[in-house]
Chains A and B, each alone.
Chain A
Amino acid sequence: MKIFQVGGSVRDELLGFKPKDRDWVVVNSSPEEMENNGFEPIGKDFPVFLHPKTNEEYALARTEKKSGVGYRGFRFYFDSSVTLEEDLQRRDFTINSIAKDQNGKIIDPFKGRLDLEKKIFRHTSSAFDEDPLRVLRFARFKSYEQLNSFNLHEETNIYFKNIAASNELKELSPERVWMETKKALENKHSEEFFKAIKKYQLTTPWFEGLKNISCDGDIPELKWADIQRVNGFQLSKPLPTPKIFQKTQESLKQVLDLIACENKKERFNLVEKMNIHRNYELFQRIYAHSSIKEHQNYLDKIFQSVMDIDFSALSTIHGSEVSHQKQLLYYEALKEIL
């Protein structure tokens, strides 16, 4: 067997960036041989293994053929005769189709290094449009610090247009689309992900209604809440966002509603609904968010006053009275502020 380092880690090293994790391709081997060497199989549909010590991913060289619509309509073919070049050819962009052997020698059959220099995303082969997820992967790549100034090659753009027009994005699984989104939110230039989606008209059906773009925040959850904020909190409903993302988004909305609310009684209800004392850390983050900066003092006072409420008096009363007594405690604490 022969082992090559491939993909994003080779690209990042060539760009002078320390890669997060490295992927490897194994040529001239078989699943049996991999397992005999202590590699642990993890792929359900294709032969991917974990290295017993480093835990990095090793995949047997493979080619792929399309057998239906969308990402799921894929068949992978692997056998010990698949060459490194064939494996590199099935990849998305030339800059991701570079390999490095164990002596550090670069193998670059698709001139990825030239495109790295020219800062271009160019499709590796005409099979680019066989996986519609690639256009979203491109959008995600744009959110990386080392790639955000790269541009799409005009010929590759034609594939993008075809994919956008073909409705194939609809066939992607919501989980995969969310994975790309989440990774983009973890990167420095998250807004570039959404800019690319908008620019290349990839909004249907996962980012329907994406009009404005703002991704302020120091954590992915807050960035997501911010892109929701500038789009009326109506974005990407079909995506399976985890609870903490939904909660952050909902809490930011509550704070904005509070600021905008002109009815005093309604303001009390809103603060009570926020459950600040149960979500202390979350609201601390939200109050520091750029979108409500000018209200920070006001919010801080509310925040502190609620945190100072002594709810222990509620412990001795009957459950049916708690709601009313709690309202009174909130009223006492906030009557001067709200």
Chain B
Amino acid sequence: MSTYVIGDVHGCFSQLLKLLDKISYNAQEDKIILTGDLVNRGPDSLAVLNYCMADSNITSVLGNHDLYLLYLINTNQAKGELKKVVEAENSSEIFEWLIKRPMLIQISDQSTQKEFIVTHAGIPEIWSIEKAVHLAEEVSKALNTDPSKILKVIWGNDPNSWDECLTDDDRYRVVINYMTRMRFLGNSASLDLKNTSTKASAGFKPWFEYASESYKQKNQFYVFGHWASLNGQTNNPHFIGLDTGCVWKGKLTALRIDDLEKISVKY
């Protein structure tokens, strides 16, 4: 019985199947958590969704592309690469399943006393785990209470940093931007959402470099996807990047929680 976290699938259905095969996934015993961005860009987003929905041992945190899909279904916009999903017969079922995925999943491994925090993009150092869990729950609750309203207001790059005073739309937007879009942070945890490379602009550095000092001694591991160009390189064992660019002809990677073993399949 093992738990695996798998990086961004992005519609690469056959690679997902290959990877599950390679790790000898057993639907009776094992658990799978995806780092989000199940859809878009790759060849078969719909098949990925249908497969995951049918298996209650597979779940995911929400990624920015998943939120975008929710928005498209909610506003009935069949366009671009997600057209097929929006037009699918079971699109409302997909919506109901996907919107219930959390922003954050915490895994505690009893035997090793290790704790894993899975999000799509990461957690800024300014938030404790407890704080991040609260905020993630707040956003999920808002999303599920009034999806049409929330899915409209979460887009954009403002405000660019967290502030305890933020309320309503601004609050949801900034929490979602941290948890699903963050790469580089600057002063006061300000987000640089335009830079998608691996090279930081002046005054910024990767979010996990701020957090690295304070979490070194603890048994905490941050597992995330989103940043394909990193290719898993964080230079810190406590920050585990799993997006290895499957959709960009790279690899799809799984992390086995029990022994921190990484298993990959090529595109």
Contact = CB atoms under 8 A, between A and B. Distances in A.
B164 A315 contact: yes
B168 interface: yes
Nearest to B163: A278
A183 interface: no
A322 B131 contact: no
Contacts of A275: 165
A323 B135 CA distance: 15
B217 to A, nearest CB: 24
A242 to B, nearest CB: 13
Contact of B131 (A278, A315, A320, A323): A315
Interface string A300-337: 00000000000110110011101100100000000000
B165 A311 contact: yes
B106 to A, nearest CB: 19
A277 interface: yes
A306 to B, nearest CB: 11
Interface in B124-168: 131, 134-135, 138, 159, 163-168
B171 interface: yes
Interface residues of A, number: 13
A319 B171 contact: yes
Interface in A267-319: 275, 277-278, 311-312, 314-315, 318-319
Contacts of B159: 278
A319 B135 contact: yes
A314 B165 CA distance: 7
A338 B131 CA distance: 34
Contacts of A277: 163, 165
Nearest to B164: A314
A323 B164 contact: no
Closest 4 CB pairs of A and B: A314-B164, A319-B138, A323-B167, A311-B164
Interface of B: 131, 134-135, 138, 159, 163-168, 171
Given A318-B138, A320-B138, A323-B168, 18 more contacts: A277-B165, A278-B163, A278-B165, A311-B163, A311-B164, A311-B165, A314-B164, A314-B165, A319-B134, A319-B135, A319-B138, A319-B167, A319-B171, A322-B165, A322-B171, A323-B167, A326-B165, A326-B167
